[in-house]
Structure 1
Amino acid sequence: MAPIVRGQGLKVADQLQPHPRILLTEDLKRRVKASCEAEDCWQELDKLVMGTAERLFDEPVTPIYFRGKTMLPQARELFRKVFFLSYAYQFSGDADFAKRGIKEITHAATLESWNPKVFLDVAEMTMAVAIGYDWLYDEMNPSERQLVKDALIKKGIKPSYDNTFNQFLTLDNNWNQVCNAAMVWGAMAIYEDAPQLAAKTIARSLKSSHLPMEKYSKNGVFPEGVMYWTYGTTYHILMLEALAPLLKEPVESFCSEGFMASGQFFLHMIANSGSTFNWSDALEKHYLNPAIFWMAAHTGDPSLLWNEKKVLEQKDFKELRQSRMLPAVLLLGAEFSPGDIPSPSSRSWRGAGENEVVTMRSSWEDPEGIFLGFKLGNASEHHAHMDMGAFVLESDGVRWAMDMGMQDYHSLASKKVDLWDSRQQGGRWTVFRYSNHGHNTLTIDDSLMDVTGKARLLKYSDQKDFRFAVGDLSDVFLRKDRSVTRGVGIKNDDHVIVKDEISASSAPIKIRWKMVTSAKVDTNGNVAILKKDGKEMKLEVKSPKDAEVKVWPASRSNRYDAPNKGASLVGFELSVEKERAETIEVLLIPGSSSMTPMPSQPLSEW
């Protein structure tokens, strides 16, 4: 085997192990197999991968075609199939799995290109073909190896050296992480045939990948939100884990402080129900992912896996058939036993950085406990929404105050919406879900928030009798003639307070307070009763006294907006005369509450 070539001062081992070399060793295979024998949950997941791979025998080779300008869904499907088949071959020794996987990667290798104009397409294709080439190598004949190896170099790695396509190298978001991970996997797969190119590519990716690492705040907040943390961080870790045997230094030495702390971010962004606090472009669904298992292992903190523990114990794995990362979950997670995972120590968490966020809960163990998430920050980060000051709320196992999350990108692009124009009057903010009109925050004078503004956390408490956070929202409104402060908190682990203090100014102002909910809403004056899944929550406006709670559609009726079926806005409007201040206080009281809530103190006294 050819020696590793040192690149740009990168310290690596003298020899590269034979195929398979990406993520997998014989020792790891033995340990994963032992875990699957010892723990029912891991055994079930192993069976799921094997069973899914068997079903692929009867499916055609993945067709690769364009949907608009991209073939990303098809590239990801290719990655899923090849990863499952490769795992099944390595852990069973059945050559039929390898033969089926080889059909996939040889077909991909014959394509004219992997679409470098959208380099994320190249990345997912490269990941798929690299893992297949590496793990199925022994079952490939010389002509198949040559075909696939040439494709990895010519259609995967070489386009990354073309300045027309390699902008990902200078980005500080998830694209950088995904594309660099792919280039490393591709380089490792073909290393012995192109050692200079491979070493150069590995060194370049390690250097470039520090850009997104620096975006993680000191205590771990990823500014693109929890879903893109899962995406970008998972690929970043797959890059580091693949390189670990080659590095003379521990992989942690290639990681920023914030990156290594970000397992806490992921942990605290998941509510008691198992759904995420899905601010920014994100969905509520939480799936097992390899990144959090890696974080738990490398920080020595198994409590990071509290949410994974619940998934593993419930064994509700059916949807994971579609997760291309499931084999990696087994590789990086199977040595953790659910019974050894403790609950986290703190019920509240403050995430610092450009997108400050706070979460709090009444319990970790009780799935029906109260969870409250509060988003500050800005609307200028990649994948951001105008959600400054927004909150989500769960109690009694129901999400009462929800974030509708992202809308399918293709549904907007196909209707000519420029979703990535995030200037003040850009196309992004015409979409209901993305603007402040569709979030659980204040709207002033029916206008958008200021895309250049930033909401800042003023104070925060984790005291048992009152967990709270107070933020300054003044800068996020286009009108700068009033200060706006919002406080949210859980009182006595029993009910929630949302309080806004708005200072006086020289001109009148119109305010809409609103909350997106999927519950059925009955209103009566300053009170609304929300009902869902046999549970109730009371929304009571303590101030202003004459508030009239109403229900509005969760839509602005644009032809391109998602229907947001089942969602509505509950809230109220008020007009404030010039030179008058206003206080808004809303109590959100679960049906299981045992207390009589009292109005709170001014925010200055929280």
Structure 2
Amino acid sequence: MRSIFIACLGLIAAFTVSRAAESPALPPHPRLLATSADFDRIRESVTHDGPLKDAFVILSETVEREYYAPLLTRQLIGRRMLDTSRNAVRRILNGALLYRITGDKKWAARAEQEMLSVAAFSDWNPSHFLDTAEAATAVAIGYDWLYDVLSPESRTVLRHALVEQALKPGDSDQLGWRKGLNNWRQVCEAGLTLAALAVAEEEPELAARTIARARRNVPPIFETYAPDGAYVEGPMYWEYGSTFHVLLIEALRTATGSSAVLGSDPAFLQSASVVNILTGPSGDFFNYGDCILRRSYLPVMYWFARETRSPGIAAREHLKIGKPGVDYSAHPEKAPLTSRFFALSLLWMPAGPAATPVATPESWKTEGANPMAIFRRGDGRNSLYAGIKGGRARISHGHQDAGSFILELGGVRWTTDLGMPSYNTVEQAGISLFGKDRWKVFALNASSHSVPLIDDLDPDENATATLQAFSAGEQSALINLTPLYASQAKKLTRELRIDSADTVIIRDRLTGATTGAHYRFSWMTKASVETNPTGATLRMNGKTLRLVFSSDAAFKVFDEDASHPPADYDAPQPGLRRIGVVFTVTKPEHTLSVTARLVDQP
């Protein structure tokens, strides 16, 4: 069987990848992501003080904490089984790795029970194939890492599940997710390839087709990282898609000897550094699009640090590992083990002391599908961090947020982007979240973002705002918003400029709008607000930000409660306010400036 698989894989590889990518023989288990030699290395490394040892102790504590938890059952939340599949990934990888390091079969037996429970599901919800891919990832890695202690009966059951629940449902070029350039392509092809590599001896032809398809289908995804690593779907979905992309790379390397072009794209390799740039001094993301605000622990950063020979890229993750021996039972939300892929940290993390963080640039831009600019002044949590973005609303996980800006200063995030809503809540209300109804959702539409509006009409969802000008030395960026408002104005631009270490200026220039039209500048915030005829004072966490508006038009300052969105399916947003100015167009060109300055007054 092994020779048949290699022959099939070699035949397909002859016209999909170079001969150098072929492997002369399929190695024994374990062969997915790590080999016996890798586990031996980790076993020795965790005996020495440092982040790797701390991660091992926390891994052990987590497995012990979940040891007596009920086995997973097939549970759907709306149309998704994703929570169940992700819990399976965490439990199975943690238990299997702990066995490989300690040799204690107790942990292997618990992971085996979890795998058999998942294998017994009626299906892995292939209608939402991410669920299938993550379940396949969990079972394939567990099967491979625990192969030597699984009973023959368990091996048969698990192989059958991987084939019937994942590989056969995924054995078609016509599946819808294969047509999109987004995280689905990475997640699903990786999960299927892991399954194929796990059972290749018994299903050589099916495995060879699956692997060849992944080698062929995944490289186009590099377009979403171009030109400089700013992933089109934002930093949260970067972590999702890129982690599975790395699983695909590593599994092909350890099982076949080569990942070919999958791990060599320059923009892809640069993308982890971009995620650090998109993280403010507070530790929060510039969370444009469907993205959570708080950056979590990102194990895949260790892989990128290793691949680029830049260990400081992952230094931030060391700080999030936490201290072993802490009892989190009273506050589980504070437990450092939040990623289902925490176990993989031990595969990619170097031994020894923590690395020194890599400095992020003071001025940075990208001109990819989501053009933006980021600026910093100073060091530490209280330093200035500001950014502005362009882009297009109708893009994968996009929002109507072109022209929106971000400001952190004095340790406070003064602007608010709501990020992603609850997909299930919105869908249960009958909303086509990724289709025609998308802009009915408050968190996604223009009314919840710090963007300009003319007569309160939505900007063109298919038009793109570009980065028209950028100066690293002057720390300024100009976004051309004209295409989004082409039916309402001849030209509209927004400039963000850093004036000093405590002052930011935002300047809008409107040309050729209809006389009598109403122009609205909005600033979304969760700070407390006091307005005056020419500005506003924002207060949060003992800090004060003073906004001063100026314009050649007569304007009115407004302060609106935005905490209760209009639809029942929209989540309440406690403390959210929409402040800004509105004016009536009276001449061919108007300019509006907003100066934001951190002040000493409480």
TM-score, length-scaled by structure 2 = 0.92
Q: Tell me the SS of whatever aligns to 1:19.
A: coil
Partner of 2:329: none
Please report how far the alpha carbon of residue 245 of structure 1 lies from its aligned counterpart in structure 2 after TM superposition: 2.8
Partner of 1:8: 13
Partner of 2:118: 108
Q: Distance in 2 between matches of 1:137 and 1:350?
A: 48
Partner of 1:190: 199
Q: In the alignment, is the contact (CA less than 8 A) between 2:549 and 2:593 conserved in 1?
A: yes
From 232, 242, 247, the counterpart of 1:233: 242
1:458 aligns with 2:474: no
CA RMSD of aligned residues (A): 2.2
Q: Distance in 2 between matches of 1:523 and 1:149?
A: 65
Q: Tell me the SS of whatever aligns to 1:479.
A: coil
Task: Flag the 1:67–1:249 CA change in 2: closer, same or farther, 3 A.
Answer: closer
Partner of 1:265: 274
- The one-letter code sitting in structure 1 at the alignment partner of 2:58 is L
Task: Flag the 1:253–1:88 CA change in 2: closer, same or farther, 3 A.
Answer: closer
1:549 aligns with 2:568: no
Q: Distance in 2 between matches of 1:220 and 1:15?
A: 35
Q: Distance in 2 between matches of 1:432 and 1:544?
A: 32
Please report how far the alpha carbon of residue 396 of structure 1 lies from its aligned counterpart in structure 2 after TM superposition: 0.9
Moved more, 347-356 or 294-303: 294-303
- The one-letter code sitting in structure 1 at the alignment partner of 2:428 is S
Partner of 2:447: 437
Task: Flag the 1:50–1:186 CA change in 2: closer, same or farther, 3 A.
Answer: same
Partner of 1:242: 251
Q: Distance in 2 between matches of 1:249 and 1:77?
A: 30
1:386 aligns with 2:419: no
Partner of 1:580: 588
Moved more, 246-255 or 82-91: 246-255
From 50, 53, 58, the counterpart of 1:43: 53
What CA deviation, in whole Å up to 9, does each residue of 1:168-192 have, x standing for no partner?
2232110000000101110111122
Q: In the alignment, is the contact (CA less than 8 A) between 1:284 and 1:405 conserved in 2?
A: yes
Q: In the alignment, is the contact (CA less than 8 A) between 1:52 and 1:321 conserved in 2?
A: yes
Partner of 2:410: 396
Partner of 1:482: 490
Q: In the alignment, is the contact (CA less than 8 A) between 1:170 and 1:211 conserved in 2?
A: no
What CA deviation, in whole Å up to 9, does each residue of 1:451-510 have, x standing for no partner?
1111011111121xx311111101112534331011002123231111101113444321
Please report how far the alpha carbon of residue 89 of structure 1 lies from its aligned counterpart in structure 2 after TM superposition: 1.2
Q: Tell me the SS of whatever aligns to 1:338.
A: coil
Q: In the alignment, is the contact (CA less than 8 A) between 2:54 and 2:321 conserved in 1?
A: no
- The one-letter code sitting in structure 2 at the alignment partner of 1:388 is A
Q: In the alignment, is the contact (CA less than 8 A) between 2:526 and 2:575 conserved in 1?
A: yes
What CA deviation, in whole Å up to 9, does each residue of 1:400-425 have, x standing for no partner?
0121111010110111111111xxxx
Please report how far the alpha carbon of residue 250 of structure 1 lies from its aligned counterpart in structure 2 after TM superposition: 6.4
Task: Flag the 1:401–1:506 CA change in 2: closer, same or farther, 3 A.
Answer: closer
- The one-letter code sitting in structure 2 at the alignment partner of 1:330 is L
Q: In the alignment, is the contact (CA less than 8 A) between 1:218 and 1:352 conserved in 2?
A: yes
Partner of 1:603: none
After TM superposition, the structure 1 = structure 2 runs for residues 133-148 of structure 1, keeping only pairs within 5 Å, are 133-148=143-158
Please report how far the alpha carbon of residue 527 of structure 1 lies from its aligned counterpart in structure 2 after TM superposition: 2.1
- The one-letter code sitting in structure 2 at the alignment partner of 1:403 is D
Q: Distance in 2 between matches of 1:456 and 1:121?
A: 36
What CA deviation, in whole Å up to 9, does each residue of 1:305-334 have, x standing for no partner?
353354358899944433201111222224
Q: In the alignment, is the contact (CA less than 8 A) between 2:54 and 2:323 conserved in 1?
A: no
1:174 aligns with 2:183: yes
1:149 aligns with 2:159: yes
Q: Distance in 2 between matches of 1:318 and 1:284?
A: 16
Bigger RCO (CA 8 Å, 6+ sep)? 2
Q: Distance in 2 between matches of 1:67 and 1:250?
A: 35
- The one-letter code sitting in structure 2 at the alignment partner of 1:534 is G
Partner of 1:324: 340
Task: Flag the 1:314–1:539 CA change in 2: closer, same or farther, 3 A.
Answer: farther
In the alignment, structure 1 segments of 5+ residues that lack a partner are 594-606
Moved more, 174-183 or 129-138: 129-138
Q: Tell me the SS of whatever aligns to 2:201.
A: helix
Q: Distance in 1 between matches of 2:46 and 2:525?
A: 41
After TM superposition, the structure 1 = structure 2 runs for residues 12-91 of structure 1, keeping only pairs within 5 Å, are 12-91=22-101
1:119 aligns with 2:133: no
Task: Flag the 1:493–1:35 CA change in 2: closer, same or farther, 3 A.
Answer: farther
Q: Distance in 2 between matches of 1:242 and 1:357?
A: 34
Partner of 1:305: 314
Q: Distance in 2 between matches of 1:539 and 1:309?
A: 37
Please report how far the alpha carbon of residue 271 of structure 1 lies from its aligned counterpart in structure 2 after TM superposition: 0.7
Partner of 1:500: 508
Q: Tell me the SS of whatever aligns to 1:511.
A: strand
Number of positions where the alignment pairs a residue of Structure 1 with one of Structure 2: 583
Partner of 1:509: 517
Task: Flag the 1:102–1:467 CA change in 2: closer, same or farther, 3 A.
Answer: same
What CA deviation, in whole Å up to 9, does each residue of 1:150-205 have, x standing for no partner?
110111111111467x2222321100000001011101111222223222211110
Q: In the alignment, is the contact (CA less than 8 A) between 2:286 and 2:406 conserved in 1?
A: yes
Task: Flag the 1:38–1:509 CA change in 2: closer, same or farther, 3 A.
Answer: farther
Q: Distance in 2 between matches of 1:104 and 1:249?
A: 31
1:410 aligns with 2:424: yes
What CA deviation, in whole Å up to 9, does each residue of 1:381-405 have, x standing for no partner?
1100000000111011110012111
TM-score, length-scaled by structure 1 = 0.91
After TM superposition, the structure 1 = structure 2 runs for residues 328-367 of structure 1, keeping only pairs within 5 Å, are 328-335=344-351, 337-344=353-360, 346-363=361-378, 365-367=379-381
- The one-letter code sitting in structure 2 at the alignment partner of 1:264 is S
Q: Tell me the SS of whatever aligns to 2:67.
A: helix
Q: Distance in 1 between matches of 2:600 and 2:541?
A: 14
- The one-letter code sitting in structure 2 at the alignment partner of 1:497 is I
Q: Tell me the SS of whatever aligns to 2:168.
A: helix
Q: Distance in 1 between matches of 2:124 and 2:352?
A: 37
In the alignment, structure 2 segments of 5+ residues that lack a partner are 327-332
What CA deviation, in whole Å up to 9, does each residue of 1:11-40 have, x standing for no partner?
222122222111112332344345444444
- The one-letter code sitting in structure 2 at the alignment partner of 1:298 is E
Q: Distance in 2 between matches of 1:587 and 1:60?
A: 56
Q: In the alignment, is the contact (CA less than 8 A) between 1:149 and 1:190 conserved in 2?
A: yes
Q: Distance in 2 between matches of 1:300 and 1:413?
A: 43
